[in-house]
Chain A
Amino acid sequence: MHIVVCVKQVPDTKIIKINPKTNTLDRRSAPAILNPYDAHAVQEAVKIKKMVGECTISVLSMGPPQATAVIKKSIEIGADKGYLISDRAFAGADTLATSYALSKALERIAKEEPADLVICGLHAIDGDTGQVGPGIARRMDIPPVTNVIEVTELNEKEKTILLKRKLANGYQLIQADYPCLMTVGKEINEIEYSPMPNMIKAARYEPIIWSVNDLENVNRPQLGLKGSPTIVGKMFTPPKPEGGKRLEGNSDEQVSQLIELLQDKKELFFTAR
């Protein structure tokens, strides 16, 4: 069995600072990390590997050369191999152009060993779209199952996988033929501590780096900025709402004013009996 996990390097949104003048991100302020959802995707691949007999886990990323760091991080979690596609031709891609580039890399990987399962994080914390995973599935013509919260069973003989897919309230139990693609949320597993051999392997690991010329049958106008139908038209600060009344005084006075206000709002709030 061959599992390919797509991973992305993102700025750590917990630490990143906002430039108060421009209201935009000061990207230099944030360390780059493995997108947290993707870490769960790699962890799930490791879990599946334990469920089945023979299994290779490859990770695939697109980004600048320093994105090899997230591949090494994935090796630490338990991936076996890592590929990075890195080229200026890929730069400025929106979700459509990104899924195109990644699907071309997956085609190349398939020449060595086709993927039985492709796993992606639910979305990346910098773009928050969740559109690349399903896009890859369409381009590979394999069924996408988004928002998976549990891999229940895998039947290697029938080549089917049983998945729980989260809905707005509840879940669907889905049986999918594989190859298929799934996107996973954080509920799916806990990231385990990496065993020492993984750490050592990761430290020494050199990911395979491909440029656009290493990929085959690429239609260049579909890549990067040129291949992206969406553009950012403008950035603006939303009109500021007026804001309400401030409750003045010391904390005791503030609290009693608030309680009174809430009691006055009888249609909102009252005590029964």
Chain B
Amino acid sequence: MIEEYRGVWVFIEQNDGEIEGVSLELLGAGRKLADKLEVALAGVLLGDNVKSLCPEVIAYGADEVYVVDHPVMKDYRTESYMKGIMLLAEKYKPEIFLYGATPNGKDLASAVATDLSTGLTADTTMLDVDLEKRLLEASRPAFGGNIMATILCKKHRPQMATVRPKVMKALERDMNRTGKIIEEEIDLKEEDMRTKVLKIVKDITKKASLADAHVVVAGGKGMGDLQGFQLIHELADTIGASVGGTRDVVEAGWLPHELQVGQTGETITPKIYFAIGISGAIQHVVGMKNSEFIIAINKDPNAPIFDVATYGIVGDAMEIVPKLIEQFKVLRKEKGGEVSYV
């Protein structure tokens, strides 16, 4: 039974005809798995008028693209999208099926896993296969400890996982790649839908400030209290950076949830990341470790944050940060301009 299932699939999430970054990253990660298993890598594309995106999916590594194109699938809805996925998965039987751990990807994967009665691993950060048993090894930080757990799904197929954005690497776009496009018809009627998307409101400002920031100043519980945490805001203001924080800080109410960096918050890759008063629990580190230049300031010389930092300062943030702010202000005056980044 299990042997019937072959191939690695990636759900290609698109919004308004634009493919989400995480889907391209998953094509990169899926390529490696498919090569190891010596099977095809397929992208699964659903939407309204999305066929034109197929060459992109192939350029980023897919051998095949399964497309279900229907007006009812214009905007993401669990009920219409899962029908499309079920149609394909039951007919073509992939052995591995990956989704981006975005709000829509998680929603879709949870519903599909239930209907397929198969296993689903949430928020994966490492992927590999056990070649002999053809098992997907989906690893994610285990609750609480600085430890990873590898989740297996031995007896059910497809083996499914949602994968954190910005953890895997996309391949170089190669328009010379060729692939096969497989179209499936679906019978959907708008009248049968029990949910309607009345409108979509984009709020780019809030998100952009953290996810797309070049420089992020993040603080943790080591800032002591809400007042101490003001130093994080002050430093960020001085150098024109965005503010981020750990889960603890958000739980304590010092920052809104949108500014949480880590497993249950944002995964970000700024050019410069200041980790101040942050010990470096794995849940936080998975959200920032791919930043280009990481500066850690912490009292505890053994704090795990120093393991991922490019430069570490062992010391009291309360003493160092004000001096840093001072120095930056002097610098700003000298150069007679704003601090900026390329």
Whether A168 and B282, one on each chain, are in contact in the complex, defined by CB atoms closer than 8 angstroms, is: no
- Of B29-37, B51-59, B290-298, the one with at least 4 CB within 8 A of chain A: B290-298
Is the CB of B24 closer than 8 A to any CB of chain A? Answer: no
Question: Is the Cβ of B155 less than 8 Å from the Cβ of A229?
Answer: yes
Q: How many Å lie between the Cα of A273 and that of B201 in the bound state?
A: 38
Residues of A within 8 A of B (CB): 13-14, 16, 18-19, 22-25, 36, 94-96, 99, 123, 126-131, 133-135, 137-139, 142-147, 162, 165-177, 180, 185-187, 228-238, 240-247, 251-252, 254-256, 258-259, 261-263, 265, 267-273
Complex contact B342–A267 (CB within 8 A):
yes
The 7 closest A-B pairs by CB, nearest first: A229-B119, A273-B337, A271-B335, A134-B110, A230-B119, A129-B122, A170-B202
Does B225 sit at the interface, judged by CB under 8 A? Answer: no
Q: Which of A228, A230, A256 has the most CB of B within 10 A?
A: A230
Determine, out of B3-11, B39-47, B180-188, B309-317, the stretch whose residues face the partner at the interface.
B309-317
Whether a CB of chain A sits under 8 angstroms from the CB of B111 is: yes
Cα(A237)–Cα(B150), bound, Å: 11
Name A14's contact: one of B104, B151, B248 (CB within 8 Å): B248
- The answer to whether A172 touches B204, judged by C-beta atoms less than 8 angstroms apart, is no
A145 to B306, CA, bound (A): 41
What residues of B have a CB within 8 angstroms of the CB of A173 in the complex? Answer: 197-201
Q: Name 29 interchain pairs, CB-CB below 8 A, sorted by A.
A: A23-B147, A94-B119, A95-B110, A96-B117, A96-B119, A129-B122, A129-B123, A131-B109, A135-B110, A137-B78, A143-B78, A166-B103, A167-B103, A169-B206, A180-B194, A186-B257, A229-B153, A229-B154, A233-B137, A235-B150, A237-B148, A244-B306, A244-B309, A251-B319, A252-B323, A261-B311, A272-B335, A272-B337, A272-B340
- Contacts of B198 on A, CB cut-off 8 Å? 162, 173-175
B121 within 8 A of partner (CB) = yes
**Closest chain B CB from A202 CB (angstroms):** 24
B231 at interface, CB cutoff 8 A: no
- Give the complex CA separation of A245 and B313 in angstroms: 9
Instruction: Output the nearest chain A residue to B337 by Cβ-Cβ distance.
Output: A273
Contact of A143 with B122 in the complex, beta carbons under 8 Å: no
Interface residues of B in 255-310 (CB under 8 A from A): 257, 263-264, 271-272, 282, 289, 292-295, 306-310
Interface-centre pick from A99, A145, A271 (highest chain B CB count, 10 A): A271
Tell whether B152 is near chain A: CB-to-CB under 8 Å.
yes
- Report yes or no: A231 in contact with B154, Cβ–Cβ below 8 A: yes
Q: Which residue of A lies closest to B82 (CB)?
A: A138
CB distance from A39 to the nearest CB of B (A): 13
A245 to B121, CA, bound (A): 36
Report yes or no: A236 in contact with B282, Cβ–Cβ below 8 A. Answer: no
B285 to chain A, nearest CB (A): 9
Interface size on B, residues (CB 8 A): 96
Complex interface: chain A residues within 8 A of B200 (CB) = 167, 170-173
CB pair A271–B263 under 8 Å, yes or no, is: no
Asked if A232 contacts B122 (CB within 8 A), the reply is: no
Known interface pairs A130-B122, A134-B78; A229-B257 also in contact (CB < 8 Å): no
User: In the complex, which residues of chain B have a beta carbon less than 8 angstroms from the beta carbon of A171?
Assistant: 200-201, 203
- Residue in A229, A231, A234 whose beta carbon sits within 8 Å of that of B118 in the complex: A229
A144 → chain B closest CB, angstroms? 5
Check if B237 is an interface residue, CB within 8 A of chain A: no
Question: Given A128-B263, A273-B335, are A170 and B203 also a contact pair (CB < 8 Å)?
Answer: yes
Q: How far is the CA of A130 from the CA of B108 in the complex (A)?
A: 11
Known: A96-B113, A128-B122, A134-B110. A244 touches B312 (CB 8 A): yes
Contact of B117 among A229, A242, A267 (CB under 8 A): A229
- The answer for the CA separation of A146 and B282 in the assembled complex, in Å, is 26
Name B340's closest neighbour in chain A (CB-CB). A272
> Are A270 and B106 in contact, CB atoms less than 8 angstroms apart?
no
User: Assuming A95-B120, A131-B110, what are 5 further A-B pairs, CB within 8 angstroms?
Assistant: A19-B145, A24-B144, A135-B110, A172-B197, A244-B309
Residue numbers in A under 8 Å from B289 (CB-CB): 241
Question: Given A96-B117, A251-B323: A259 and B331 within 8 A (CB)?
Answer: yes
B190 in the interface (beta carbon within 8 A): no
Q: For the complex, give the distance between the alpha carbons of A24 and B75 in Å.
A: 42
Q: Give Cα A240–Cα B107 distance, bound, in whole angstroms.
A: 33
Which of B120, B195, B208, B257 is the one whose CB lies under 8 Å from A185? B257
Q: How far is A196 from B221 in the complex, measured between Cα atoms in Å?
A: 34
Assembled-state Cα–Cα distance A152/B118 (Å): 35
Say yes or no: A176 contacts B194, CB within 8 Å: yes
Select A18's contact among B111, B144, B202, beta carbons within 8 Å.
B144
